[in-house]
Amino acid sequence: MTPGLDIDETPTMEIRPLAGALGAEISGVDLAAPLEQRTIAAIRAALLEHLVIVFRDQRLTPEQHAAFARRFGPLHNFAYTAARALDGHPAVLRVVKEKEDRKVFGELWHADVTFLEKPVLGSILHAIETPKQGGDTLFANMYLAYETLSDGMKALLERLMAVHESEVRAENAGNGANGGAGGFVVMGTEHPVIRVHPETGRKSLFVNRTYTTRFSGMTAEESRPLLEFLFQHATQPEFVTRLRWAPGTVTFWDNRCTQHRPLNDYHGQRREMHRVTIADSTL
């Protein structure tokens, strides 16, 4: 357990770990109800301890979903993605895969929007419609990814910065974008390869296959062998938990020390999720 955290503050809240690496399921909390501050504090402590927390059988309106997320920080504008906000609810991102679609949103391993100077704290995803089978999400623990590296590799990586980039629509880019053709530009920034969590003080590996393109001061070709090792190391089965969704499942993950990957194994079935993302006000 992370020093100083107390996750047993409420008599009705029960926490059951999902796997050895990360993740816990929390029962005894109705997220649609007004929650006392001590309950919010206990949920936050559980998030910091388990990295991914899951609530089952929740029935949230978009307003309630956003209101719950606001208890943990200011909401993030997710205009960079191809998905669109729910009508009338600009903070609620609608993530849908229709029956005829072949690709899934965010298909590769990633942490969200690491191409921004200030990546987000985390996201809260509410399952609205799920397939009868398939459509699970994998989560990986980046603390473990760092801690299991050799001392020599840790020493090497401590000195490195990595470039994180993504192509986004020009109207959404703002500052920090490089010009491109066809109405798209590349947004990018640099982050330490080994990042210290602003709340727990623990070190984690902070590169991901979707957005990390190279090490600072190196070419993509020079960077590729070491990055490929880190991508595979970070997502090995011992560091991963697999979440099975159902309508009413709400999952909250800490984007600062995890990666995730939705599985695209439910062709011909529909899946709709609503996501609210929280900015990291600790930075």
**Which positions are annotated as active-site residues?**
110, 112, 260, 275
Q: What is the CB neighbour count within 10 angstroms for residue 6?
A: 11
Bin 30: left if φ > 0, else alpha if -120 < ψ < 50, else beta: beta
Instruction: Write the DSSP symbol of residue 199.
Output: T
Convert 82-112 to b/e letters by CB count within 10 Å (16 or more is b).
eeebbeebebbbbbebeeeeeebbbeebbbb
Q: What is the DSSP string of 29-49?
A: --TTS---HHHHHHHHHHHHH
Pick from 226, 198, 195: which is nearest to 213 by CA? 226
Q: What is the CB neighbour count within 10 angstroms for residue 8?
A: 12
Residue 13 tokens read as 């809240």
Q: How far is CA 116 from CA 94, 123, 133, in A?
A: 21, 15, 34
How far apart are alpha carbons 91 and 84 in whole angstroms? 10
In what order do the strands lie in the sheet containing 258-262? Answer: 240-243, 137-141, 258-262
Residue 227 tokens read as 């990055």
Q: What is the CB neighbour count within 10 angstroms for residue 15?
A: 18
